[in-house]
A and B are shown apart, each in its own frame.
Chain A
Amino acid sequence: MSFDIPEDCRYLASHEWAREEDGTVRIGISDFAQDELGDVVFVELPDEGEELDREDDFGVIESIKAVSDIYAPLAGTVTATNDVLLDDPELVNDDPYGEGWMIELDPEESLDHLLSPDEYADQIE
């Protein structure tokens, strides 16, 4: 089975993605991760203004299979959360890199330490 791994994202080994967009960084979980979790039924996100260190857990995702922590791929301050997910958590399954995004950060560091799409593809092979 092949999974979508967009070229404009960088990845954390724990299956979160990060994408730079107009000075902020948008974050979500990968297509592989949503497939592994199964139908997502609940998402808990942090408050705006919360400061995160690299690999801090910033939220919780519950699927029909498991509850899993979500980790910050980089350090920064939360500037926006996708509150649509509170009522429509299935967007994480339907569109993990688009409408299923989770938070936006004002980054304190670059994305250079994260896995490239090729490296992430190798990891999930």
Chain B
Amino acid sequence: MRVLRDRAETIAADNERTAALVKQATKSGEPALRVWTPHQHVAFGRRDARTEGYDRARRYAERHGYPAIEREVGGRAVAFTGSTIAVVHAMPDADRTAIQSRYERASDRLRDALTSLGVDAREGEPDRSFCPGTHSLQAGGKLAGLAQRVHQSVALTSAVVLVRDHDAVAEVLGPVYDELGVPFDPDTVGSVARAGGPTDPERVCDALVDAFSA
């Protein structure tokens, strides 16, 4: 499996790097994994972009130092602080209808990584969490969420893992979710550090690469 760890110079270049990795995985048939800490930004979902308050939400995020982008995978807005980890696992020739089994595998790997860091995470999330979904991990708040994008020839499983900065994430997402009209309780934001794990994103990245490569 090809593994990529570094961050590109800009948010746009970073997105291009992921797209190139996925394209290469599709072409070669070799699975690929990217684990990194993206630049600070807020990634909005497609549904967010259709809400009445979307422009206001974008402006709020950008005024507070979080450039706004729209992301390809599903779900609602997610904030990356610079220490937040993104995971993209590209599986070529994947069965388009194996959504649940891919979630289960990815969730197990995430939990394995967190366990190796001393964090006892369990499935699920508190009510009114950010990017609410059915495949999240929590430990003193939501600290990781999973999503999938399914193409004809490749399936992408993506994860967001909050290492620290849970207060900063709550601070920016509170007003953003208000503008989007999506219920959100800032107290539900967790992190690896808040759950007693390390504060160094590199340590968490190492554990994630090990778990997803196993």
Contact = CB atoms under 8 A, between A and B. Distances in A.
A37 interface: yes
A55 B152 CA distance: 9
B149 interface: yes
A67 interface: yes
Interface band, chain B? 20 to 34
Contacts of A44: 46
B46 A62 contact: yes
A66 B47 contact: no
A64 B134 contact: yes
Interface string A77-105: 00000000010000000000000000000
B151 A69 contact: yes
Contacts of A42: 46-47, 50, 74
B54 interface: no
B148 interface: yes
A36 interface: yes
Interface stretch (B11-19, B23-31, B96-104): B96-104
A41 B152 contact: no
Contacts of B99: 36-37, 65-66
A37 B73 CA distance: 14
B161 interface: no
Given A66-B149, A67-B74, A60 B46 contact: yes
Contacts of B135: 65
B183 interface: no
Nearest to B148: A66
Interface in B35-72: 45-47, 50, 72
A48 interface: no
A57 B150 contact: no
Interface string B123-160: 00000000001110000000000011111100000000
A48 B201 CA distance: 47
B68 to A, nearest CB: 18
A69 B151 CA distance: 6
Contacts of A71: 152
A116 interface: no
B73 to A, nearest CB: 6
Given A65-B148, A68-B150, 12 more contacts: A15-B96, A33-B97, A42-B50, A55-B152, A62-B46, A65-B135, A66-B74, A66-B99, A66-B147, A67-B46, A67-B150, A69-B150
List the 6 closest A-B pairs by CB distance, nearest first.
A66-B148, A68-B150, A67-B74, A62-B74, A67-B149, A36-B97
Interface of B: 45-47, 50, 72-74, 96-97, 99-100, 103, 133-135, 147-152
Interface of A: 14-15, 32-33, 36-37, 41-42, 44, 55, 57, 60, 62-69, 71, 86, 124
